[in-house]
Amino acid sequence: MSFIAIDLESAASVEPPRYFGQLIPVAPAHTGRYDVAKKVKRASASVPAGSRKRSTAPLPLNWTQWLHPEGKLYFFCDDGLRVVTDSYMLDASTAAKVDAWIYEIRLKAKSGGIILGEKVELFLQVTSDNDCNYYFVNLESRALFWLEDCSTSALGLLDVVSDTHLGLVLEAEYWAHIENFCMHLGGLPQNSIDDLILVFTHGLADTLTSTLSTFPYDATASEKILNLLNHSRDKISKGEVVTLVARFWGLIVYNRYLTHHGEEQARLSRDSSIIDADEAEEIQWTRTAFSMMSFGTFKPYMKKFDGLFVDSLVYGFEWESFMKSCISGWRDSIALSFGLLLLHVFCFFLPISSILASISGLTSSLSILVAILLLHRHEELGKSDASSAHEYLTSVKSSTFGFQGIAFAFSLPKALSILSFLALFSQWAFLGYNLVVSHPVALIAPLFVLMVLFAVIASTSTTLHFRVPSFRFWNASMKTEASMV
Residue pLDDT tens, the chain, 485 long: 333 334 444 444 445 556 568 899 999 999 988 888 788 888 888 887 776 666 667 888 889 999 999 999 999 998 889 999 999 999 989 999 999 999 999 999 998 888 888 899 999 999 888 899 999 999 999 999 999 999 999 999 999 999 999 999 999 999 999 999 999 999 999 999 999 999 999 999 999 999 999 999 999 999 999 999 999 999 999 999 999 999 999 999 999 999 999 999 999 999 888 988 766 678 888 899 998 998 889 999 999 998 888 888 889 889 988 999 999 999 999 998 888 877 766 665 555 656 767 777 888 889 999 999 999 998 888 777 888 888 899 888 888 888 999 999 999 999 998 888 887 777 665 555 555 555 554 445 555 545 555 555 555 444 444 343 333 344 433 333 434 33
Answer yes or no: are the C-beta atoms of 122 and 105 closer than 8 Å. yes
Angle between helices 386-396 and 316-343 (to 10 degrees): 60
Task: Please report the pLDDT score of residue 352 as a whole number.
Answer: 60
Residue whose C-alpha is closest to residue 10's, from 103, 77, 122, 121: 103
Q: Which long-range contacts (CB under 8 A, 24 or more apart) does 454-459 make?
A: none
Answer yes or no: are the C-beta atoms of 361 and 316 closer than 8 Å. no
Task: Please report the pLDDT score of residue 5 as a whole number.
Answer: 38
CA distance 133 to 177: 14
Task: Please report the pLDDT score of residue 205 as a whole number.
Answer: 96
Q: 165 φ, ψ to 5°?
A: -65, -40
What DSSP character marks residue 84?
A: E
CA distances from 462 to 1, 457, 467 (A): 84, 10, 16
- Rounded to two decimals, what is the model's pTM? 0.78
Q: How many helices (H) and strands (E) does the chain have?
A: 14, 7
Q: Which helix (H) or strand (E) holds 132?
A: strand 132-138
Please enumerate in sequence order all residues whose Cβ is within 8 A of that of 117, keeping only pairs 6 or more positions apart, or say none: 1, 2, 3, 4, 138, 140
CA distance 209 to 470: 19
Helix, coil or strand: residue 319:
helix
Angle between helices 239-258 and 219-231 (to 10 degrees): 150
Residue 435, Cβ neighbours under 10 Å: how many?
14
Task: Give the β-pairing of 63-67 and 23-25.
Answer: unpaired
Residue 152, Cβ neighbours under 10 Å: how many?
14
Task: Please report the pLDDT score of residue 129 as a whole number.
Answer: 83
CA distance 15 to 102: 11
Go through the chain and tell me how many residues it has: 485
Give the type of residue at 385.
Answer: D
Answer yes or no: are the C-beta atoms of 26 and 134 closer than 8 Å. yes
Query: What are the residues facing 193 on neighbouring strands?
Result: none
CA distance 253 to 455: 67
Answer yes or no: are the C-beta atoms of 136 and 120 closer than 8 Å. yes
Give the type of residue at 142.
Answer: R
